[in-house]
Amino acid sequence: MTDTTEQQPQRPHTDDPDYAANLRRATLASSVGSALEYFDFALYGLSSALIFNVLFFSDLDPAMGVVAAFASFGVGFAARPLGGLFFGTIGDRLGRKWVLVVTILLMGGATTLIGALPTYDQIGIWAPILLTVLRLAQGFGAGAEQAGATVLMAEYSPVKRRGFFSSLPFIGIQLGTLMAALVFSFLSSLPEDVFLGWAWRVPFLLSFVLILVALFIRMRLKETPTFVVLEKQDQITHRPVRDIFTKGLAGVTVGIGLRMAENGGSYMFQNLALAFVAGSFLANPVDRGVATWGVTVGSLIGMATIPLTGHLSDRYGRRAVYRFGAVFMLVFAFPAWWLLSTGIPAVVIAVIAIGIGVAVNTMLGPQCAMLPELFGNRHRYLGVAMAREISAVLAGGLAGVVGAYLLATAGGDWLLPAIYMATLALITTASTFLVPETQGRDLLRLDDAVRVSTGERGDAEHPAETAAERDAVRA
């Protein structure tokens, strides 16, 4: 009789020094990548709201220049699902680590080059064309960056505290947003000819430093324990795309719904709200430097609310905490946009800060563990990438363009963006009733939590589909 103990994969324990060191390294690697991604995107979003219409779309009238600037911002979102599909497939076939190395290079490199671009006054139509190309490259790399960080941390985290540990790297999101807001606030306080002349380029060029730091950390990172199990048991799928659009389709669809309010609301509060209060939509616009303080304060609040709500999801379940955030945004949408229309600086700062720090981040905290828990081990990376990035197009990518268009055509009426935000919140609230509770789900499982093959919602006790999958779960 053979001893099968050594054939079974051993789960890591938090008191194992090697595991603890890798958990810290994974947290740091994910945090730096998240900081870089959201530094890039917050920086581009702030620039779209406040200066890109002048620098790259100066041939248009001011209102339509803002729409065009947000359109270039939205183009990057269109590339994200393609990047998620491409890199997500590689991540499920070859592993998580090396994908995260490549994506940080592509994303950060494109951001750095934006800082070297000539403006419309210098090269004419080629300026917005080159800006759009670099934005596409930035989006293509980002399409798998955040999904990779999400999967990496969920697969490394201890099961009972997965919500808390998975949320920690997403403090990097707030740090990146905070850095962008602080840098932009300082630069926008400079004389306008200096700011629009060369100073706006500085934060884009500084992305290169973050790339070097992230690369150093990620090159020392080990592969995640769950992917190692797949390799040892020779269970890596060679057709993750086919799997995700058959077995994983329900999980992707629900994941998209969960992200609509979180992602769309984030970009509406960070970018569209700034364009609304500091642009030509109000009779007495707020100073752009003052308005960005709302993003700064919201990011500081998020550094507390993200790990707090991740921890609460470990105690009370992912769905309950997530639903609270979606309902809060639904209730907050109309008073928020009415208050923004008053143009009172202190009120504007408070509204944007609460929108980002509480409404958005109360959903982001439990989401960090919830999305990876929706998918089986064979196609988890691709599943999370597709859910995140398709929703990024439908929610975040369209938020600026649609919102700016609604404001432009309605003469700056606050009611239309409020209705738009409330609609996103309703979609997410409804989605929380379609997903099973995933708290504590075994990430070695090969079946999804939401099962398209039977039309039934799965749960942590749902049996695996095949004998091979049952063996993997028992292992």
* pLDDT recorded at residue 462: 40
* pLDDT recorded at residue 387: 92
Is residue 254 over pLDDT 50? yes
Q: Which residue has the higher pLDDT, 146 or 301?
A: 301
* pLDDT recorded at residue 280: 66
User: Hunting for tokens 């998240």 — which residue is that?
Assistant: 34
Sign of CA dihedral 444, 445, 449, 452: positive
Using the CB atoms, write b or e for 235-261: b if 16+ within 10 Å: bebeebbebbeebbbbbbbbbbbbbbb
**Which of 197-211, 295-309, 360-374, 432-446 is the least confident region?**
197-211
Is residue 15 over pLDDT 60? no
**Which of 228-242, 249-263, 288-302 is the least confident region?**
228-242
Is residue 202 over pLDDT 80? yes
Tokens matching residue 415: 């009611």
Query: CA dihedral defined by 281, 282, 288, 291, rounded to 10 degrees?
Result: -110
* pLDDT recorded at residue 58: 66
The per-residue pLDDT of the chain, averaged, comes to 81
Question: Phi and psi for 211 in degrees, rounded to 5?
Answer: -60, -45
pLDDT in tens, 42-69: 777 777 767 777 777 766 666 677 777 7
70/143 Cα distance (integer angstroms): 19
Which option is the CATH number for 20-216+239-474: 1.20.1260.10, 3.10.580.10, 1.10.3720.10, 1.20.1250.20? 1.20.1250.20
Query: What's the rounded mean pLDDT across residues 275-284?
Result: 76
Query: What's the rounded mean pLDDT across residues 403-426?
Result: 87
361/2 Cα distance (integer angstroms): 51
Tokens matching residue 344: 């009172």
Sequence-ordered list of residues with C-beta below 8 angstroms from that of 394, at least 6 positions apart, any chain: 256, 260, 264
User: Hunting for tokens 């099961």 — which residue is that?
Assistant: 159
Domain boundaries, the chain: 20-216+239-474
Tokens matching residue 313: 């999801």
Is residue 260 over pLDDT 90? yes
63/56 Cα distance (integer angstroms): 14
**Which of 149-163, 219-233, 284-298, 456-470 is the least confident region?**
456-470
* pLDDT recorded at residue 49: 66
Is residue 4 over pLDDT 80? no
Q: Which residue has the higher pLDDT, 165 or 172?
A: 165
DSSP secondary structure, 364-412, as one string: HHHHHHHHHHTS-TTSHHHHHHHHHHHHIIIIIIHHHHHHHHHHHHTTS
pLDDT in tens, 336-391: 999 998 889 999 999 999 999 999 999 999 999 999 999 988 888 899 999 998 99
* pLDDT recorded at residue 59: 64
